[in-house]
Amino acid sequence: MQQLEDDIREDIQHKKATEYSQMTIGINDNSLATWFLPVIIDDVKNTKILLDLKVDDQTKLKYC
């Protein structure tokens, strides 16, 4: 999980600009409900990033 946090922070730092830019992130609903927002909020609130969250219910995923 730490690697994911570091990757997102690095992407946000590179996208600081005068205009808004969009970042698409695929995430399961459990992660969104528990840890994702507290981790990302401080990095995003002072930038011009629009998060496009693609949320899926991991309990409905079929594993091979």
For residue range 30-61, what is the model confidence (pLDDT) as tens digits? 889 999 889 888 877 877 788 899 998 766 65
Q: What's 34's DSSP letter?
A: I
Domain locations along the chain: 2-57
Answer whether residue 64 shows pLDDT above 60: no
* Higher-pLDDT residue of 19, 56: 56
Tell me the C-alpha distance between 12 and 23, whole Å. Answer: 8
Tell me the C-alpha distance between 17 and 57, whole Å. Answer: 33
Q: Is the dihedral angle over the CA atoms 24, 25, 30, 31 positive or is it negative?
A: negative
